């Protein structure tokens, strides 16, 4: 088989940067990407034959682990029945039912094909409903690559040090207002300055794209209060946290009801899916029941719906608390190793997610995150990869653990960390 090196050389001639999404190129960690031949459970195998413990998990979708037999079977059984109809099919209704049942604040839901589509459509709906244009977004939160959200540094953009990006016209971001995460003062100030103009506040209820930064005490409650008081819609971007922070997402875990929710990643079981939903009175404004246009040739794709249904059915029966306890223990053991080696880190954890920040300071927003030692992380990444462990190729990301990761995988990871520091 051709090596990763050979594939990457070919890829760079055909695909910009050799990759179809920037962070995969490993530029932030100073090495070339490895090409994947296959993945199973908590492991990926490269074309070079290295089997590694995987904490990227496709950036979140694979909460059940790779190639879960029941998810694979659902896809295999659905494929011969046709891979796209451009007309409704039962699986769309069944998946919508599962999502609505899991998220009390979602009475109706619309399927799309990615998280990016979900957030841009939710923003359009919020603007349509309120008749206002402005949106408040938090610095360091990532909501996909639609123009209005590229007003500041997101995950990929931030780590590549590109301020915004060329190609986004000023007019498409002039209504995007930025505030630091976990601070209500900035939001209050914006609501005061732009009274009656703000359509929505969009937030990752636990930030996962600047590393894992959980919400501070009272932050989400404050956003809920401010949105209600100002007639603005609160959008929870749960593309990562949906079905991961808890089966019913971060909103169920913290008991706060947003007006709109965006989902992606897990709900497609590894196939391309996104969704947005919320109160029926808002969702009925979407075409064709309402006047806010949004469409998609492949939306509600039968293969993606089958994979999503199989995934959610399995997750519904899964013991989230047990996984959380295991990840807590494992990440504490990891922390001990850093301490033994005299390397200052701060580990944030929530459910099956964690981030190792190379700092001895507190992390509550993107300004804090930027103070971390990205070079030290890059060196750690390279050593861990040599030692058979695949962690995110960027200091500002979240490690994802799946139900398929075994205690043996954890032990192997701890041993690799010992050798890597
Ligand atoms: C991944 C992500 C998105 C974008 O989803 P894509 O499927 O990559 O378009 C949006 N919001 C959050 C919080 C994400 O983590």
| Ligand 1 centroid from CA 265, angstroms | 7
Of all helices (H) and strands (E), which one includes residue 54? strand 51-54
pLDDT category, 152, cuts 50, 70, 90? low
Q: What residue ranges define each of the domains in the chain, with the CATH number in brackets? A: 69-316 (3.40.640.10)
238 Cα nearest atom in ligand 1: 13
- Chain centroid to Cα 332, Å, comes to 23
Residue 157 vs residue 372, higher pLDDT: 372
pLDDT in tens, 8-46: 999 999 999 999 999 999 999 999 999 999 999 999 999
- Chain centroid to Cα 159, Å, comes to 16
Pocket test for ligand 1, best of 120, 122, 144 (most atoms within 8 A of CB): 144
DSSP 167-217: TS-HHHHTTEEEEETT-HHHHHHHHHHTTTTEEEEEE-SSB-SSS-BPPPT
Identify the pLDDT of residue 211: 97
Which two three-digit tokens encode residue 5? 């090196």
Give me the active site residues, please.
142, 237, 265
| Ligand 1 centroid from CA 162, angstroms | 19
- Chain centroid to Cα 385, Å, comes to 22
Rounded-to-integer distance, Cα 170 and Cα 166, Å: 10
Rounded to two decimals, the pTM is 0.96
Ligand 1 neighbourhood includes 241 CB (under 6 angstroms): no
* Closest C-alpha residue for ligand 1 atom 14: 239
Pocket test for ligand 1, best of 209, 261, 271 (most atoms within 8 A of CB): 209
Ligand 1 neighbourhood includes 205 CB (under 6 angstroms): no
| pLDDT at residue 78 tops 60 | yes
pLDDT category, 169, cuts 50, 70, 90? confident
Ligand 1 neighbourhood includes 112 CB (under 6 angstroms): no
Query: Under 8 Å CB-to-CB from 419, ≥6 apart: which residues?
Result: 383, 387
- Vertex 251 angle, CA 246 and 257, to 5°: 155
pLDDT in tens, 272-294: 999 999 999 999 999 999 999 99
| Ligand 1 centroid from CA 98, angstroms | 21
Query: Under 8 Å CB-to-CB from 126, ≥6 apart: which residues?
Result: 135, 199, 200, 232, 233, 235, 259, 260, 282
Please state the rounded mean pLDDT for residues 165-170.
87
Ligand 1 neighbourhood includes 236 CB (under 6 angstroms): no
Contact (Cβ atoms closer than 8 angstroms) between residue 236 and residue 276:
no
Helix, strand, or coil (residue 275): strand
Ligand 1 neighbourhood includes 116 CB (under 6 angstroms): yes
Rounded-to-integer distance, Cα 58 and Cα 398, Å: 11
Average pLDDT of the residues of the chain: 95
Identify the pLDDT of residue 174: 86
Ligand 1 neighbourhood includes 278 CB (under 6 angstroms): no
Identify the pLDDT of residue 157: 43
pLDDT category, 158, cuts 50, 70, 90? very low
* Closest C-alpha residue for ligand 1 atom 6: 115
- Strand-strand pairing, 389-390 and 51-54: parallel
| pLDDT at residue 154 tops 90 | no
* Closest C-alpha residue for ligand 1 atom 5: 115
| Ligand 1 centroid from CA 27, angstroms | 20
Please state the rounded mean pLDDT for residues 41-58.
98
| Ligand 1 centroid from CA 272, angstroms | 11
Tell me how far CA of residue 162 lies from CA of 150, 159, 271, 322, 378, in angstroms. 10, 8, 29, 40, 19
Largest CA distance in the chain: 61
116 Cα nearest atom in ligand 1: 9
Identify the pLDDT of residue 173: 87
* Closest C-alpha residue for ligand 1 atom 11: 143
| pLDDT at residue 159 tops 80 | no
Pocket test for ligand 1, best of 118, 239, 399 (most atoms within 8 A of CB): 239
Rounded-to-integer distance, Cα 103 and Cα 109, Å: 10
Residues of the chain above pLDDT 90, percent: 94
Rounded-to-integer distance, Cα 135 and Cα 421, Å: 43
Helix, strand, or coil (residue 299): coil
pLDDT in tens, 184-208: 999 999 999 999 999 999 999 999 9
Residue 98 vs residue 170, higher pLDDT: 98
Identify the pLDDT of residue 172: 87
Sign of CA dihedral 126, 131, 137, 143: positive
Residue 8 vs residue 166, higher pLDDT: 8
| pLDDT at residue 222 tops 80 | yes
Ligand 1 neighbourhood includes 237 CB (under 6 angstroms): yes
pLDDT category, 146, cuts 50, 70, 90? very high
Rounded-to-integer distance, Cα 401 and Cα 324, Å: 9
Helix, strand, or coil (residue 121): helix
Ligand 1 neighbourhood includes 114 CB (under 6 angstroms): yes
Q: For 215-352, list the strands marked E by DSSP.
A: 233-237, 260-263, 274-278, 346-350
Rounded-to-integer distance, Cα 352 and Cα 365, Å: 21
Ligand 1 neighbourhood includes 52 CB (under 6 angstroms): no
Contact (Cβ atoms closer than 8 angstroms) between residue 372 and residue 28:
no
């Amino acid at each position: 088989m051709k090596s990763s090196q050979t594939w990457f050389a070919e890829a760079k001639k055909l695909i910009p940067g050799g990759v179809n999404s920037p962070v995969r190129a490993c530029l932030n960690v100073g090495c070339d990407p490895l090409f994947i031949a296959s993945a199973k459970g908590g492991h990926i195998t490269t074309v070079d034959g290295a089997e590694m413990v995987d904490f990227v998990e496709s950036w979140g979708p694979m909460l059940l682990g790779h190639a879960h037999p029941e998810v694979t079977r659902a896809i295999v059984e659905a494929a011969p029945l046709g891979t796209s109809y451009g007309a409704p099919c039962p699986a769309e209704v069944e998946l919508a039912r599962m999502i609505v049942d899991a998220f009390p604040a979602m009475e109706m839901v619309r399927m799309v094909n990615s998280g990016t589509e979900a957030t841009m459509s939710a923003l359009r709906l919020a603007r349509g409903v309120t008749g206002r244009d402005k949106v408040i977004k938090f610095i360091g939160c990532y909501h996909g690559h639609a123009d209005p959200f590229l007003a500041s540094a997101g995950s990929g953009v931030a780590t590549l040090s590109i301020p915004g990006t060329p190609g986004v016209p000023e007019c498409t971001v002039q209504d995007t207002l930025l505030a630091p995460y976990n601070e209500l003062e900035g939001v209050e100030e914006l609501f005061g300055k732009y009274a009656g103009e703000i359509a929505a506040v969009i937030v990752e209820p636990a930030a996962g794209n600047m590393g894992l930064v959980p919400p501070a005490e009272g932050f989400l409650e404050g956003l809920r209060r401010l949105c209600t008081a100002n007639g603005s819609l609160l959008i929870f971007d749960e593309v990562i946290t949906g079905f991961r922070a808890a089966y019913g997402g971060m909103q169920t875990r913290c008991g706060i009801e947003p007006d709109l929710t965006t989902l992606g990643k897990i709900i497609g079981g590894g196939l391309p899916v996104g969704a947005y939903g919320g109160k029926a009175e808002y969702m009925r404004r979407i075409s064709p029941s309402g006047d806010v246009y949004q469409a998609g040739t492949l939306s509600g794709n039968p293969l993606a719906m089958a994979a999503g249904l199989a995934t959610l059915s399995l997750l519904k029966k899964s013991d989230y608390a047990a996984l959380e306890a295991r990840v807590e223990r494992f990440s504490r053991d990891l922390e001990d190793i850093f301490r033994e080696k005299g390397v200052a880190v701060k580990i944030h954890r929530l459910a099956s997610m964690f981030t190792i920040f190379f700092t001895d300071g507190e992390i509550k927003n993107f300004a804090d995150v930027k103070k971390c030692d990205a070079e030290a992380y890059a060196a750690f990444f390279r050593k861990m990869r040599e030692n058979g462990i695949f962690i995110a190729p960027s200091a500002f990301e979240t490690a994802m653990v799946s139900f398929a990761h075994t205690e043996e995988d954890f032990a192997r990871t701890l041993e690799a960390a010992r050798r890597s520091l």
